[in-house]
Amino acid sequence: MPDRAALDRLALDAAYEQAIKSRREGGIPIGSALMNPAGEIVARGHNLRVQSGDPTAHAETVCIRNAGRRRDWHTLTLASTLSPCAMCSGAAVLHRIPRVVIGENTTFLGREDWLRAEGAQVLVLNDPRCVSLMREFIAAHPDLWNEDIGVPES
């Protein structure tokens, strides 16, 4: 029986790799991964808004899109480097993903309350790598970040 907490760390590591990949591409450094109960990563994704011009291309939504057609959503763990926004939480709720592992929620608090209310198990790991990645990005590109979360131009 695999150690659940160790698998959660591995899922978050896969998400973090995706966030770094996006940063290397000049994009928003948020990454996501889906893991099955055996501990295999079945899909990966990162934010693509800068790369593709698609404002809905958030990491978790891209990851769920990359997972393709399947019937095992109810067994999967969704990991994200950052607390999932309303849209991405919606995609997780729609597919009845039962477990959401979050790198951090200090730079942005998404709709964890809603995920919990819908019965998902939500784990916030407070990963310092994820916190510093977002802090550095927001400090360097405040406009790009505000655009990502729908804050009007000031």
Known catalytic residues? Answer: 60
Tell me the pairing of strands 77-82 and 99-104: parallel
CA distance 61 to 47: 9
User: Least separation, in Å, of the C-beta of 66 and Zn ion?
Assistant: 15
Select 87 or 138, whichever has its Cβ closest to Zn ion: 87
What is the C-alpha end-to-end distance of the chain, expressed in Å?
A: 52
Q: Which C-beta is closer to Zn ion: that of 85 or that of 101? A: 85
Q: Which two tokens stand for residue 108?
A: 């942005």
Closest approach of Cβ 9 to Zn ion, in Å? 22
Kindly give the interhelix angle for 128-140 and 4-24, rounded to the nearest 10 degrees. Answer: 20
CB of 32 to Zn ion, least distance (A): 9
Q: What is the contact surface with Zn ion in residues (CB under 5 A)?
A: 58, 85, 87-88
Q: Which is nearer to Zn ion, 11 or 63 (CB)?
A: 63
Tokens 């393709």 locate to 68
